[in-house]
Structure 1
Amino acid sequence: MSTEQLAPASDVYYDPYDLDINRDPYPTFSRLRAEAPLYYNERHDFYAVSRHEDVSKAFADRDTFKSGRGNILELIKSGIEMPPGLVIYEDAPTHAIHRKLVSKMFTPKTVAGLEPKIRAFSAACLDPLVGTDRFDVITEFAAQMPMRVIGMLLGIPEQDQESIRDRSDANLRVAPGKKMKFKENNLVRGGVFAEYLDWRVDNPSDDIMSELLHLEFVDETGTRRRLTRDEILAYVQVVAGAGNETTTRLIGWTAKVLADHPDQRRELVEDPTLIPGAVEEILRFEPPAPHIGRYVAQDAEFHGRTVPEGAAILLVAGAANRDERVYEDPDRFDIHRKVPSLLTFGLGAHFCLGAALTRLEGRIALEELLIRFPEWDVDLQGAEMSPTSTVRGWDRLPLVVG
């Protein structure tokens, strides 16, 4: 019997819906790693792992820890059957097939080609703010840029991108401390995406939506075919929702963390070549999605205890990214840190397809902010955190500049 089995039960409590924990989860994460590396929450009936080794193991073992019932705790426990095309909510063999198709949106050439457009849009957002003494970095910039980038990829006109962003964000919003609610008929919402898709059938262009409409592939039955309308809508929804929300939170955390560490921010102003490493450290230090859910398809063992088949488990990447077994002084923010084994984007078959694009957006956002605003503080009295349990970040973050 292991020493951990003999140790007295810990009184640590972890709850992704608890607003007090969510404001600063890291003391709780530290206790989870030390006292309850396999944690069970009886109230909400889920397990959680928090050490880097355990989270990595679960990400890599897609036969045991399944994505096919969703990666959000409420969705996993709902038992809803996933519609085809929601690639982040699929398992083998369909996942590999659909992932290959979606990856066409994120080739290195496609991502690199977006840089001038992202930079121009960032300048258009930030230039009018020069000379002001304060502005909300979320509403004026961070909430706008990611949806504009998705619009560039999909070929959605600029005048409609903001309304699409608001619809995507609303799907993740909950009342403070409450769970998300799902119905089978609202997992794929046609809405304005459906209108564009139908229009693109007769008006093809040089964009991803047109490419998805006309490509052929061999599906899991061996049949060569084109994607169905519902499959394309599902792809588009995944890209629009996942890419928008997480990148907005990353930019917000960039502003907040560098306000808390002005000396390191000044280093970035003096030496912009440090910015890519700083973005990587921010992704480790304040990941936009602190946990990712999985359905347990067969009994799994952690630390001498069994997680039973049929359970829901949270892989707490936000805790694993600060595991002292991997990172020296993990609660210290350091733009010079080499960041090995970052788990913010997952690992293995479900590694985030948009990781390179998110890093690009984060780098450009920081470069353009620092060019115009080398100094800023945060007005915490006017700041508001997002109430959603799936991502963690700011809905409002006023910056005082000067």
Structure 2
Amino acid sequence: MATDRDQVYWDPWDVDIYADPYPTFRRLRDEAPLYYNERHDFFAVSRYDDVERGLHDKETFTSGRGAILELIKANVQLPPGTLIFEDPPRHTVYRNLLSRVFTPRRMNALEPQVREYCAASLDPLTGADRFDFIADLGAQMPVRVIGMLLGIPLQDQDAVRETADANLRTKPGAKMSFGGRLDIGADMFAEYIDWRAKHPSDDLMTDLLNAEFVDESGVSRRLSREEVLTYVAVIAGAGSETTTRLIGWAGKLLADHPDQRADLVRDRSLIPRAIEEILRFEPPASNVARYVARDTEFHGTPVPEGAAISLLVGSANRDERHRPDGDSFNIHRAAGPSLSFGHGAHFCLGASLARVEGRVALEEILRRFPEWDIDTENAKLASTATVRGWETLPAFIR
């Protein structure tokens, strides 16, 4: 049986495993590179080459039923415009509308605003002896940036973040529940959309309302109101949640490796490489799911059409077959590819923005607080099986 203590067991809803999944990931890579969980009826792959294949082969491993195990198993009807939960040709059409906005050049041009938002969060803490990486920065700066891009008023941005958080949160050990439909909180943007339709501005919301494109049926049109609402909700949630996790892991990992943190203080040119290593070592989305659209196999074992499969990005990034000493954190590591932002058609459109935000946030933190220790008794991982990271991460400033 899969639950026999002598056999490796992977369960994304197991609180103890979730707290530190990496010993289990290593066992999976070595002992069960294709794993089947009988209790929850899903497959999982953990080696780099297998996860990369699952992310790349969009015909076999599809996103149209969602990228979360519970969502795939629920067989919920997804609204148009979810983007990350869509397949070509529709996905290609929707993605192209945003790809012209989220270019590396345009995202790098946002650096002054990102730095300004970081300063607004961190400057009031001057002289303090405590600092929470989530409450004092991670929960503030990313939503300010995405709110500015979308055109969401400042006074409403915290509500946007709280809604995105609530959509991902579960009770410890519990699965996400959808009640027959996917609710991503799109209704909360209705007033903004209606206002922008009458009062256009220089923001992404206005761009979406006015964008003309040829859809997958060959029809030239604009996005419907429902599509714009879904688009905005997806962008707002993704733009605030994952960068928050990146900032939290930066605080935790650099506290755990003070010698490497000191290297960053001495040489700020190392910070971009440090951000890549943080993303590799603790990817915000450590596992993503796919629906198996046709019979396939891994390592000689069949995976049938209709199955759900979990692609363990957090394991793949540490696979010693791909990256020697992958379980060690090292900001001096030679640059190399990771799967933290996905791969292929669903490569994260916000990757450039996340890198800019992460780099600037770390620069501004180290400028003010070169040394800190985590208050481990009060640090808490967020309760979610989708985006692994810290809900609170208080630190003592030295």
Q: Residue 188 of structure 1: CA displacement?
A: 4.6
2:309 to 305, 308, 313: 313
Alignment of 1:182-221 (within 5 A): 182-221=178-217
Counterpart Cα distance in 2 of 1:36 and 1:270: 43
1:148 to 130, 144, 150: 144
Provide the secondary structure at the position in 2 that maps to 1:290.
coil
Pairing 1:338–2:334 present: yes
Counterpart Cα distance in 1 of 2:201 and 2:36: 51
Q: Residue 311 of structure 1: CA displacement?
A: 0.3
Counterpart Cα distance in 2 of 1:186 and 1:96: 21
Equivalent residue, structure 2, for 1:396 = 392
Q: Residue 240 of structure 1: CA displacement?
A: 1.0
Q: Residue 186 of structure 1: CA displacement?
A: 4.4
- What 5-or-longer segments of structure 2 have no aligned partner? none
Counterpart Cα distance in 1 of 2:185 and 2:49: 37
Structure 1 contact 83–188 (Cα < 8 Å) conserved: no
Cα-to-partner distance string for 1:259-297 (whole Å, 9 max, x where unaligned): 000000000000000000000000011111110000000
Equivalent residue, structure 1, for 2:323 = 327
Counterpart Cα distance in 2 of 1:19 and 1:42: 18
Equivalent residue, structure 2, for 1:290 = 286
Counterpart Cα distance in 2 of 1:138 and 1:93: 38
| Misfit runs of 4+, over 6 Å | none
Equivalent residue, structure 1, for 2:231 = 235
Pairing 1:117–2:92 present: no
Q: Residue 190 of structure 1: CA displacement?
A: 3.2
| Matched residue type, 1:171 | N
Equivalent residue, structure 2, for 1:226 = 222
Equivalent residue, structure 1, for 2:45 = 49
Structure 1 contact 105–153 (Cα < 8 Å) conserved: no
Equivalent residue, structure 2, for 1:3 = none
2:20 to 21, 24, 28: 24
Cα-to-partner distance string for 1:309-333 (whole Å, 9 max, x where unaligned): 0000000000000000111111111
Counterpart Cα distance in 2 of 1:105 and 1:45: 39
Q: CA RMSD in A?
A: 1.4
Q: Residue 185 of structure 1: CA displacement?
A: 4.3
Structure 2 contact 293–306 (Cα < 8 Å) conserved: yes
Pairing 1:58–2:58 present: no
| Matched residue type, 1:21 | I
| Matched residue type, 1:328 | P
Structure 2 contact 184–234 (Cα < 8 Å) conserved: no
Cα-to-partner distance string for 1:330-368 (whole Å, 9 max, x where unaligned): 111110112422101110001011111111111011000
Pairing 1:175–2:171 present: yes
Q: Which moved more, 1:22-31 or 1:132-141?
A: 132-141
Pairing 1:375–2:367 present: no
| Matched residue type, 1:162 | D
Cα-to-partner distance string for 1:217-236 (whole Å, 9 max, x where unaligned): 00111110000001111111
Provide the secondary structure at the position in 2 that maps to 1:382.
coil
Q: 1:309 to 1:34 in 2, by over 3 A?
A: same
Counterpart Cα distance in 2 of 1:192 and 1:28: 39
Identity between Structure 1 and Structure 2 (%): 61
Provide the secondary structure at the position in 2 that maps to 1:90.
coil
1:134 to 130, 133, 139: 130
Counterpart Cα distance in 2 of 1:184 and 1:95: 23
| Matched residue type, 2:384 | T
Alignment of 1:89-104 (within 5 A): 89-104=85-100
Counterpart Cα distance in 1 of 2:125 and 2:95: 40
Q: Residue 109 of structure 1: CA displacement?
A: 3.4
Q: Which moved more, 1:337-346 or 1:388-397?
A: 337-346
Equivalent residue, structure 1, for 2:355 = 359
Counterpart Cα distance in 2 of 1:176 and 1:188: 21
Counterpart Cα distance in 1 of 2:229 and 2:187: 9
Structure 2 contact 189–232 (Cα < 8 Å) conserved: yes
Counterpart Cα distance in 2 of 1:60 and 1:340: 18
Equivalent residue, structure 2, for 1:85 = 81
| Matched residue type, 1:38 | L
Structure 1 contact 151–161 (Cα < 8 Å) conserved: yes
Provide the secondary structure at the position in 2 that maps to 1:131.
coil
Counterpart Cα distance in 2 of 1:186 and 1:67: 14
Structure 1 contact 300–308 (Cα < 8 Å) conserved: yes
- TM-score, normalisation: structure 2: 0.97
- What 5-or-longer segments of structure 1 have no aligned partner? 1-8
Q: Which moved more, 1:316-325 or 1:140-149?
A: 140-149
Provide the secondary structure at the position in 1 that maps to 2:391.
strand
Pairing 1:105–2:98 present: no
Q: 1:29 to 1:358 in 2, by over 3 A?
A: same
- TM-score, normalisation: structure 1: 0.96
**How many correspondences in the alignment?**
395
